[in-house]
Amino acid sequence: MVIDQDAMRHLSEAQVSVELATEDMTLNIGPQHPSTHGVLRLVARVDGERAYDVKPVIGYMHRGYEKLSEVRTYPQITALINRIDWVSGYANEVPFIVAAEKLMELEVPQRAQYIRLILTEMARISSHLVFMASYPLELGAATPLFFALRERERVLDLLEGVTGGRFHPNFNRIGGVKPNAGAGPTTRKTPQDLPAGFLNDTRDAMDKVLEVCDEIEDLVAGNEIILARTKGIGILPPEVAAAYGVSGPNLRASGVAFDLRKVENYLPYEDFDFSVVTGENGDCWDRWWVRLEEIRESAKIIQQAIDGMPPSGTLQAKVPKIIKVPAGETYVRAENPKGEMGYYLVSDGGLGPYRLKIRSASFSNISILPWILEGILVPDIIAIMGSLDFVLGDVDR
C-alpha cells in the first residue's frame, strides 16, 4: 500500500487544529449581589472561563446631590454629603466645610481642627476595617469579619459619643465643629467640648485597633488560599491608575507615594509623624496590605493628636448667624479613606452654592473596571472588585 505522505500530513494537521466550538455568553452580575457593595451591575461577555468587554452599569443610586445642593443652604448641605460615602460619612464633610471656610476666609480654632482630624482618622479606620471584614469574606474566609467589626464598633461608639451619629455625624459647622452631643443640653454660656474621658478611651481604643491589625494579619497574611487568590491578580500599573484618576490606597498600592494629607493643608497633618504606605506590584494583595498598614498609621496619628491636643477653648470661629459665603470659587480636595474626595464650590454670595461639583473617589476608582477586568478569569472578577474597595453611594452621588 502506497502511503500518500502529503495526504497524511494534511490529515494530522486537520486533527490538531480541531477545537471545540465555544459560544460567547453574556454574564450579568448584580445589581443585587453581595460582592457589589451596593447596587453595581456588571455585564460581561464570557468566553469559557474568561470575561471580556466588562461594562459596569451604574446610576441605580443616583440621588442628584449636585442639583440638590443648589437649593440648600450651606449648613444644610453637610447633612446631604454625609451620605455620599456612608462607610466614612464624617470624612465627606471636611473638604466641603473647608471650601466654604476658605471663601469666607475664616480662621478655625486649632482645637476644632484637631477634633476634625481625630474624627477623620477614625472614619478612615472604620472604613478600612469594613474592608478588612468584607474582602476576605468575598474570598471565602468569614473569620476576619468578626475581628474587624468588633474593633470597628469600638471606634464607631467613640465617634457616636462625640457627634451623636454612627454613620452620618453631621458634626462640622462652618468655622468649627458642633457643640458636643454627649454633654447634654447645650447652654449658651458654657463652652462645649469633648465628652468626659473621650481622649483616654480613644487612646485605649487605638491600642486595641493596633492589636486587631496584628490579629488580622496573622489570620489573613498566612492563608495560602487568600495569597493564591490575590497575589499577582488584578495588577494596576501606576500610569494607568493616574490616567483614570484612581486615587487613595488603590493608587498607593501601585507604588505611587502620593497622599493628599502630605500635600494639601485642609487639616493640620503637618504636625504629625506618619508614613505614606505604598505597595510594590499593584495587585489585589498590595491593595489589601496598604489598607492594613494605613489603619496602623491612622491609629498612630490619633495617638499623637491626643498627646498634642490644644487646651479647651472655643470650638467655633465667629460667624454670622445667617451664613452667606462670599462670591468666589475654589476646589478643595482631601485624602478620604477611598481616595481623593473634593468639592469645587462656586458661590455667588448667597445662602447656598451656585454650583457644587462633587468629585468622589469611588467613581474614578471603578471607572478602571473595564480596563482591569479585560480577559480576567470569572472568579477573579470578585477578587479584583473587592480589592478596589468602593461604595456605591460614593460612585452614584
Partner 1 sequence: MTSSPSETEAAEVTEHPLQGFADAVAEAVEGTAEIHFDTVKVTVPADRWLDTHSVARDELDLVFFSWLSAIDWSNEVAAGDPLSDEVEERIELMTTVGDLTEGKRVTFSTTLDKASPSIPTLIGVYAGANWHEREAAEMFGIDFEGHPELVHLYLPNGFIGNPLRKSYPLLSREVKPWPGTVDVEAMPEKEEPSTENPEA
Binding site for partner 1 (CB under 8 A): 58-59, 62, 64, 66-68, 70-71, 73, 76, 102-103, 173, 175, 178-179, 186, 188, 238-240, 242-247, 251, 256, 258, 260, 262-264, 316, 318-322, 327-331, 333, 340, 342, 344, 346, 348-352, 354-355, 357, 359, 363-364, 367-368, 371, 396
Amino acid occupying residue 254: S
Q: CB of 361: closest distance to partner 1 in angstroms?
A: 10
In whole angstroms, the minimum distance from the beta carbon of 157 to partner 1 comes to 24
Cα dihedral 389, 392, 393, 396 sign: positive
Q: Round to whole Å and give the CA distance between 156 and 194.
A: 15
The whole-angstrom separation of Cα 335 and Cα 339 is 6
What torsion, rounded to 10 degrees, do the Cα atoms 393, 167, 262, 202 define?
Answer: -160
From the list 38, 42, 106, 35, the residue with the least C-alpha distance to 360 is 38
Q: Which is nearer to partner 1, 264 or 271 (CB)?
A: 264
Q: Which residue has the cell 462645649?
A: 192
User: In this complex, which beta carbon is closest to partner 1, that of residue 11 or of residue 263?
Assistant: 263
Tell the smallest beta-carbon distance from residue 19 to partner 1 (Å): 31
CB of 202 to partner 1, least distance (A): 24
Side-by-side strand order, sheet with 339-347: 328-336, 339-347, 355-359
Nearest distance, CB of residue 171 and partner 1, angstroms: 12
- Least Å distance, CB 215 to partner 1, is 33
User: For residue 243, what are the contacts with CB-CB under 8 A and spacing of at least 6?
Assistant: none
Asked if residue 129 lies in contact with residue 141, where contact means CB atoms within 8 angstroms, the answer is: no
Closest CB 67 distance from partner 1, rounded Å = 6
Give whichever of 143 and 367 is closer to partner 1, judged by the CB atom: 367
Q: Which is nearer to partner 1, 101 or 151 (CB)?
A: 101
The DSSP output letter for 139 is T
Spatial neighbors of 305 by CB under 8 A, at least 6 apart, are 114, 117, 118, 121, 271, 272
Residue number, 24 or 239, with CB nearest to partner 1:
239
- The smaller minimum CB distance to partner 1, of residues 160 and 329, is found at 329
Q: Which is nearer to partner 1, 72 or 300 (CB)?
A: 72
User: Residue 348 CB, nearest distance to partner 1 (Å)?
Assistant: 5
DSSP three-state, residue 326? coil
For partner 1, the closer of residues 46 and 332 by Cβ is 332
Strands 328-336 and 376-377: unpaired
